[in-house]
Structure 1
């Protein structure tokens, strides 16, 4: 709560008292130099890094049926995902994918906190990569800190130029890869080599590349602390049984250094030797010993660091560990924690997520390889022919969503004596679309005045199970 500013006439008022503390605001500009660490969780982070980056950088190069396996062709309005071809009419699957992603995030956050942030978020992964490059070029964290404090000279300029040059190469390659999912990547390579890139391709390569360069090279933890909305609303998904990185204050306090072979229990000290390494390795610069904080991204670097210190001093591991609020309060072990991860909230999320995934998989598996849209000719509602027949005009848009050429027969049902002028059998190439103009004629006595229901039946000539029945209105004068 804001405190009132003391009056200048008050005897208790002192110079500077009542003014805002600018140090809180200046802290956002403090550069963090995370100390590198090894350990079980660090190894897992790198495993996830290489797995995710291999998929991102490699998937656009994977050939499939003579084309790119993953291609979002906005020009042709076709999305290729291995054997599947999605059209704008399949937007329902995009909606389901977004809902599944949301519920997946809810479920994983309720169970494991910010595991996504620590192990799979692109911001974390690229920052980890850029920090590794920085360490290889400039040196360990303390050397880098001293280097930044030195005035610019030839050596510093050379190191900084080399580092940022590597950053830019990786960033531009990232932008190129991103665009390669929307423009066939081999075509994109040819356009780059021949200097024939389109304006939008140039824009997005540099936009995404510079965003990667800025976010991972400069902003880094600032993205997590001040710009990412997930850090702000994660609290509504946490509860006392959520698995988070925790410091066992009951075991660790009172913290403090100790002499070799000192009986620290007799001296009234806890297991924490107050070495500060847990703070030095934190990519967001927080002290996990202060309790759960929204700045914690759950990367577990502090766990690896603390476990190494505990090994050196001969104390049990786990002073900092993955645990829950209830587990710390009630001194639960691993089996009890695992049992409480399954609770009403996670069960509800899990059931909803399973139903959504099942429904989406069933919808894709049973999706027919043909789509039909019926469009009435608005220019002529209905007319009477010279033979006394009533005629309505339509356009059939038939889409072949498979990767093989198909032949379809077209038939009309719904009104006695109905026939049409147009192609009765059409052939459509793989992933192709064909617009078929159709003029339907019926005897004047076949229907009632006004709208009459008819159906267009489009059937695969080689497989009768592949059939679509679309309704339309036939207008009688």
Structure 2
């Protein structure tokens, strides 16, 4: 029986030197199975979400648009401003905790099924298959001298990769600038400036990451592979080979008595290695390069079916189960992550519900104070009002608890949906002598017909102690 690397110490050296991790010579074999079908389903959902959402309209504008130029972020019926970035930070923290929780439960399933790097890599590998053939054909083509046929196949493959990269780049940039004008300018060759740079940049990034670098991104550039082991425990499900059942390995005829020959269920066909996109041998134990895609499970299950053996020689297993024990599904770390996720999701929902639909910022003029025509001490302020709703709103402006002060200037205003308005106002002090040289002030803006839509901003009134 071969030694198996424990989950707490993830191997960094691939098992098969002829299939080095990061080596461009890795050619994967075609296969089918339950997990491949599941992965295609997740990939289809991701592609539909990414490529489709950018083209949706909502109330006459693009449904999802991060308008950096105007510092507005439209997500369907909601408009977010820089003041709402705390909500985005909270969402990112929730996603991080969700990733930690799923890793504790089932290892790197995110990498294997939903990570854009893996998903686009599988798509590029499919392009490689339809242009250059299956694994053996690609190996022969790579070793063959250059010919017209080889050049045509390579050119077709790289053209497909660039086309996918271009569509990906246009779509990604289309979330930051309206995608319909962007696509029209690209088709008419009128696209230029910053937009053209970023389209070309993301086209090249997609081409290199998914087409040329592939597994090297997962191993050398993604930090997730480096710290995943600290989140694993003995009950974490991960793609693993069962050495107790599989060893000793060896070829045999179907129907022969393997036990009499001193053999386990592994027939040493190496199909699990041939289908692996990172080129590792899962039979050597859990390795850092394993992305949890379960391609080896599908390949091995197919072999087990043909041999008449029970499936599951390679499968999602915990270290406890591999040692003959029982996997504990509910454990403190997993429950802790789940509780934290529920609390954070609940807090985010409450924050979104209570998010004020009008924002008020007060900027005091640099001048300390001045005396107006009536002999009153006066301070100047610039008010910035943001209407976060999807409808035009009519607002009223006033001072709160400001006895001895009067607000002068525009106190009623109309702001269009999702727009910002700036209003200069002044505040005059009615008292002859202030109690302090700096007095706190509170400005309130509220919707004329709905007092619950309101916002309060604070500033200070500066005056001389002696007049």
TM bin, normalised by shorter chain, reads: over 0.9
In structure 1, list runs of 5 or more residues that go unmatched.
1-22
Shift in Å at residue 442 of structure 1?
A: 2.1
Residue in 2 that maps onto 1:218: 212
Paired residue secondary structure (2:323): helix
The 1:354–1:308 alpha-carbon spacing in structure 2 relative to 1, beyond 3 Å, is: same
Shift in Å at residue 26 of structure 1?
A: 7.7
Matched, 1:272 2:266: yes
Matched, 1:232 2:226: yes
Greater Cα offset, 362-371 or 415-424:
415-424
Residue in 2 that maps onto 1:16: none
The 1:183–1:409 alpha-carbon spacing in structure 2 relative to 1, beyond 3 Å, is: same
* Separation in 1, partners of 2:190, 2:152: 33
Superimposed CA distance per residue, residues 98-131 of structure 1 (whole angstroms, 9 cap, x where no aligned partner): 2112111111111110001100111111110111
Paired residue secondary structure (1:56): helix
Paired residue secondary structure (2:421): strand
Indicate which of 70, 78, 89 corresponds to 2:72: 78
Matched, 1:357 2:345: yes
Residue in 2 that maps onto 1:367: 355
Residue in 1 that maps onto 2:408: 421
Higher relative contact order (CA 8 A, sep 6+): 2
Superimposed CA distance per residue, residues 326-385 of structure 1 (whole angstroms, 9 cap, x where no aligned partner): 1111244xxxx3xx232111111111111111111111111121000011001x211222
In structure 2, list runs of 5 or more residues that go unmatched.
1-16
1:3-42 matched pairs, under 5 angstroms: 28-29=22-23, 31-42=25-36
Superimposed CA distance per residue, residues 22-71 of structure 1 (whole angstroms, 9 cap, x where no aligned partner): x8998743510010110000000000000001100110000001101100
Residue in 1 that maps onto 2:191: 197
Shift in Å at residue 476 of structure 1?
A: 2.3
Matched, 1:242 2:230: no
Shift in Å at residue 226 of structure 1?
A: 2.2
Matched, 1:382 2:369: yes
Indicate which of 297, 314, 334 corresponds to 1:346: 334
* Separation in 2, partners of 1:79, 1:381: 36
Shift in Å at residue 153 of structure 1?
A: 0.5
Superimposed CA distance per residue, residues 234-286 of structure 1 (whole angstroms, 9 cap, x where no aligned partner): 11111111110111100111110113432111221111111111111111111
* Separation in 2, partners of 1:27, 1:319: 24
Verify the 8 A CA contact 1:416 1:446 in the aligned structure 2. Answer: no
Indicate which of 253, 259, 284 corresponds to 1:259: 253
Superimposed CA distance per residue, residues 207-238 of structure 1 (whole angstroms, 9 cap, x where no aligned partner): 11111111111111121222221111111111
Residue in 2 that maps onto 1:135: 129
Residue in 2 that maps onto 1:435: 422
Greater Cα offset, 204-213 or 448-457:
448-457
* Separation in 1, partners of 2:356, 2:185: 36
Paired residue secondary structure (1:455): strand
Residue in 1 that maps onto 2:178: 184
Residue in 1 that maps onto 2:54: 60
Residue in 2 that maps onto 1:97: 91
Matched, 1:471 2:458: yes
Superimposed CA distance per residue, residues 382-435 of structure 1 (whole angstroms, 9 cap, x where no aligned partner): 122232222111111000011110010011133324222211100001111111
Residue in 1 that maps onto 2:398: 411
Superimposed CA distance per residue, residues 131-185 of structure 1 (whole angstroms, 9 cap, x where no aligned partner): 1111111111100110010001011111111111111111111100011000101
Matched, 1:321 2:315: yes
The 1:205–1:293 alpha-carbon spacing in structure 2 relative to 1, beyond 3 Å, is: same
Paired residue secondary structure (2:403): coil
* Separation in 2, partners of 1:259, 1:38: 23
The 1:27–1:402 alpha-carbon spacing in structure 2 relative to 1, beyond 3 Å, is: closer
The 1:214–1:30 alpha-carbon spacing in structure 2 relative to 1, beyond 3 Å, is: closer
Q: Count residues in correspondence.
A: 448
* Separation in 2, partners of 1:356, 1:99: 9
* Separation in 1, partners of 2:408, 2:75: 38
Matched, 1:112 2:99: no
Paired residue secondary structure (2:452): coil
Residue in 2 that maps onto 1:300: 294
Matched, 1:43 2:37: yes
Paired residue secondary structure (1:341): coil
Q: CA RMSD in A?
A: 1.6
